[in-house]
């Protein structure tokens, strides 16, 4: 959403979880006064809002957070403990049949965030399943599986997470590619971490043990210190970015990072 705004576009956020933190969003680079936010009371309302936004053609990016939190109206009106087998899956299937053609006729990117659940008693295969049925998997153009691979620490304090993104489905490019990046608390995706990774992969930055250096300039000891150095020395960071952009295509860097979409938040 922040990248959409930086490029002059309009973003909308459907907060089905009712858990958006405005301060964190602002730290990630979002302009809250230019962001459309909706907190629907039911799944039907949230999906209707999504359809209207896409149909209007006035919004470039719509985020639904999350599918698991989209509660059908019948479930909202029922008692806790009532069973509604397949209700959410049927609703998603019906909604996506309508949304697909509408999205295709627009220039809007619609992103559904989902959660993981586990089936009970699965012996063979993965027990993991995503809520909302299979329709979303079938209709989606790109599916990205995000997993935290490790915690990033400075001393004993956890300051972020290392995240692995795996493309499990892709209708517009080759699937099954993997990329890793840092998500820092109160900052979002770390661009300097990406510059460091790509710089090392391309041989622009030398790594000797825990020390990082660029030409005759020492960036620091340890990954976090090197990232902080690049933050404080924007000229070197911009030089590295221009070299990375010059040696790699905009869509993909050498190690799978999308450089263009990972600008500082």
224 inside domain: no
262 inside domain: no
pLDDT digits (tens, 9 = 90+) for 123-166: 898 899 999 999 999 999 999 999 999 999 888 999 999 999 99
pLDDT of residue 65: 97
pLDDT of residue 5: 97
pLDDT digits (tens, 9 = 90+) for 163-199: 999 999 999 999 999 999 999 998 899 999 999 999 9
pLDDT of residue 186: 84
199 inside domain: no
151 inside domain: no
Q: What CATH number is attached to the domain comprising 118?
A: 3.40.50.300
Tell which wins on pLDDT, 255 or 21: 21
Tell me if 89 sits within 8 A of 72, measured CB to CB: no
19 inside domain: yes
Q: How many domains does the chain have?
A: 1
Q: Identify the burial level of 91 via C-beta atoms within 10 angstroms of its C-beta, where 0-12 means exposed, 13-18 middle and 19 or more buried.
A: buried
Residue 253 clears pLDDT 50, i.e. is over it: no
Q: Look over the chain and give the mean of its residue pLDDT values, rounded to a whole number.
A: 91
For residues 43-70, average pLDDT: 97
208 inside domain: no
Owning domain of residue 112: 1-137
122 inside domain: yes
13 inside domain: yes
pLDDT of residue 83: 87
């Amino acid at each position: 959403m922040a990248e959409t705004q930086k490029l002059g576009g309009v973003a909308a956020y459907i907060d089905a979880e009712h858990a958006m933190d405005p301060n964190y969003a602002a730290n990630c680079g979002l302009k809250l006064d230019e962001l459309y936010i909706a907190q629907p009371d039911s799944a039907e309302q949230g999906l209707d809002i999504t359809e209207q936004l896409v149909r209007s053609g006035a919004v470039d990016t719509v985020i639904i957070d999350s599918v698991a939190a989209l509660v059908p109206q019948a479930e909202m009106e029922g008692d806790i403990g009532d069973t509604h087998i397949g209700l959410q899956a049927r609703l998603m299937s019906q909604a996506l049949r309508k949304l697909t053609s509408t999205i295709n006729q627009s220039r809007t990117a619609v992103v559904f965030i989902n959660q993981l659940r586990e089936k009970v008693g699965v012996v063979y295969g993965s027990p993991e399943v995503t809520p909302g049925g299979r329709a979303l998997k079938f209709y989606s153009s790109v599916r990205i599986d995000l997993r935290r691979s490790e915690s990033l620490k400075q001393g004993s304090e956890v300051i972020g997470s290392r995240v692995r993104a795996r493309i499990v489905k892709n209708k517009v490019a080759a699937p099954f590619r993997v990329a890793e990046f840092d998500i820092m608390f109160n900052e979002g995706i770390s661009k300097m971490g990406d510059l460091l990774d790509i710089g090392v992969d391309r041989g622009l930055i030398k790594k000797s043990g825990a020390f990082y250096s660029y030409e005759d300039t020492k960036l620091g000891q340890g990954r976090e210190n090197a990232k902080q150095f690049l933050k404080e020395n924007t000229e070197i960071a911009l030089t590295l970015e221009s070299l990375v952009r010059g040696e790699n295509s905009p869509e993909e860097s050498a190690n799978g990072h999308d450089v263009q979409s990972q600008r500082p938040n």
